[in-house]
Amino acid sequence: MIADSFKHKGLRKALVEEIGRKGITDKAVLDAIGAIPRHIFLDSSLDNIAYQDKALPIGCDQTISQPFTVAFQTQLLDLKPNEKVLEIGTGSGYQTSVLCEMKARVFTIERHKPLYVRAKSVLQLMKYNAKCYFGDGYKGLPSYAPFDKIIITCGAKSIPSDLVAQLKIGGFLIIPIGEQTQEMYRITKKTDSELIKEKFGDFKFVPMLNNKES
Ligand code: SAH
């Protein structure tokens, strides 16, 4: 059962107002944040701080992204209903649920087994039918390509070419690029050989790692 108390609902409403003040204007994104019980994606010991606009620990040395960051990346995705979206870095599954709530068809990849297992079961409990995969996000999911959009929720050193190859022409990738801190990019695949790159400010993410790194 999902315990979503009046207290949680009140804190969530305040969070939606806060990220609105910080610059999120897309009503569908704000509605999704307002609808989803973020505390369900976290350990119950974090219940009291689940609706602060902060990244929080989720185990395996990883974090659930700050709600403002989740909203910012989702707003940049400019989702249309039924679009096929690939997410790299399932983590807690919270960003995944925001994409599902906005009617995207979501495929998501996580490289830490315990996080993959937990996110998959929370998403099932909440009746979101995202397709969860355990594996290396750098490789994407070639057998399900092409995707309308791709969202990367960890900091990449560069643009992964396998992921660009799995995008539709006209589709785009939302990707934080950098080592200590990252700049948010929207990379549009104009043709097979031409990418348009736009920048949207500085953020801080856990790193996107390949299989040999820990
Ligand atoms: N979207 C998540 C954010 C989690 S943090 C949420 O809402 O909770 C980023 C996640 O990316 C971490 O769980 C990390 O393990 C994962 N990650 C890092 N490199 C990866 C890779 N190469 N493939 C798949 N997942 C990766």
Mean pLDDT of the chain: 95
Atom of ligand 1 nearest to the CA of 211: 22
Residue-wise pLDDT tens digits, 6-52 = 999 999 999 999 999 999 999 999 999 999 999 999 999 999 999 99
**Tally of structural domains, the chain:** 1
For residue 35, being part of any structural domain is answered with: no
For residue 45, being part of any structural domain is answered with no
Share of the chain above pLDDT 70, in %: 98
Distance (angstroms) between ligand 1 centre and the Cα of 6 equals 31
197 CA distance to ligand 1 middle (Å): 23
Q: Classify residue 131: in a domain, yes or no.
A: yes
Q: Residue 201, Cβ neighbours under 10 Å: how many? A: 9
The answer, yes or no, to whether residue 1 has pLDDT greater than 90, is no
Domain membership flag for residue 211: no
Look at residue 81 and tell me whether its pLDDT is greater than 90.
no
Q: Which burial class, exposed, middle or buried, applies to 40 when counting CB atoms under 10 A from its CB (0-12, 13-18, 19+)? A: buried
Instruction: Extract the tokens encoding 195.
Output: 């990418």
Q: How far is CA 22 from CA 15, 25, 51, 64, 202, in A?
A: 11, 9, 15, 19, 14
Kindly state whether residue 212 falls inside one of the protein's structural domains.
no
pLDDT at 212: 62
pLDDT for res 135: 95
In degrees to the nearest 10, what's the CA dihedral of 56, 59, 62, 64?
-40
| Tokens representing residue 113 in the block | 């087994």
Out of 5, 65, 158, 193, the active site residue is 65
Pocket of ligand 1, candidates 41, 53, 62, 116: which has the most ligand atoms within 8 Å of its Cβ, to mutate?
A: 62
pLDDT at 3 (0 to 100): 85
Judge whether 61 lies within some domain.
Answer: yes
Domain of residue 101, residue span? 54-203
How confident is the model at residue 208, as a pLDDT?
95
pLDDT tens track for 128-167: 999 999 999 999 999 999 999 999 999 999 999 999 999 9
Residue 182 lies in a domain: yes
pLDDT in tens, 104-115: 999 999 999 999
Pocket of ligand 1 (CB under 6 A): 62-65, 88-89, 91-92, 94-95, 109-112, 115, 136-138, 153-154, 206, 208-210
Q: Would residue 45 show up in a list of annotated catalytic residues for this protein?
A: no
Which pTM value belongs to this model?
Answer: 0.96
Residue 141 is assigned to a structural domain of this protein: yes
The domain spanning residue 121 has which CATH number? 3.40.50.150
Three-state SS at 152: strand
* 152 Cα–ligand 1 center, Å: 8
Mutational pocket test of ligand 1: of 206, 210, 213, the residue with most ligand atoms within 8 Å of the beta carbon: 206
Residue whose Cα lies nearest atom 19 of ligand 1: it is 208
Work out the pLDDT band at 213, boundaries 50, 70, 90. Answer: low
Ligand 1 centre to CA of 91 (Å) is 5
